[in-house]
Amino acid sequence: MAKMEDKTTFNLTKPIRCIVKLGGAAITCKNELEKINEENLEIVSSQLRESMFAGSGSQQINGMDWSKRPGRSEIECNIDDFEGHGFLDSSSFVVVHGAGSFGHFQASKSGVHKGGLNQSLVKAGFVATRISVNLRFYSVLFFFPGCSSFFF
């Protein structure tokens, strides 16, 4: 009787510690064309950086109550405050975010939700929507200096 070989392979990667979704309505001004809500995004980006640093060493990981909406004076974040930490441990974080006021206006005006890829207006609508969503992506990325890999 032939001996069967075990061909199981294991991928030893660092597990994801946290998945965060930044809702489009929370990080943009939903009723204004392509406008980021800088105050909300500044607060949440500061909290995420704080959480990433907490997990990068042997320190205790602080709990974070995401249901609280702190005022601007409660959280101040200066990237220079993190100078001694080396690099951000963003490899265990996944951040996804909604489009909010980016893309929805273009998609609605061109009727992409109705289909009809044979129509030039719909094709142009897909292009305009994608450009707008890319603009939102880079606008959000601005609030996470040194963390570009954290979004890819």
Domain boundaries, the chain: 18-59+69-151
Q: Whole-prediction pTM value?
A: 0.59
Phi and psi at 46, nearest 5°, equal: -65, -45
Asked whether residue 68 carries a pLDDT value surpassing 70, the answer given is no
pLDDT grade for 48, boundaries at 50, 70 and 90: confident
pLDDT grade for 62, boundaries at 50, 70 and 90: very low
Tokens of 73: 């004076």
Please, what is the average pLDDT of the chain?
Answer: 73
Plot region of 103 (φ>0 → left; ψ -120 to 50 → alpha; else → beta): left
CA 146 centroid distance within chain: 14
Picking from 55, 47, 17, 37, the residue whose alpha carbon sits closest to that of residue 98 is: 37
Tokens of 8: 């199981």
Q: What is the DSSP letter of 98?
A: -
Partners of 19 in the beta sheet? 94
Phi and psi at 36, nearest 5°, equal: -80, 140
pLDDT in tens, 88-120: 455 667 788 888 889 989 999 999 989 888 999
Amino acid (1-letter code) at residue 15? P
Give the list of residues 6+ apart from residue 140 with CB closer than 8 angstroms, or none: 22, 27, 36, 41, 97, 151
3-state secondary structure of 9: coil
- Whole-angstrom Cα distance, residue 42 to residue 48? 10
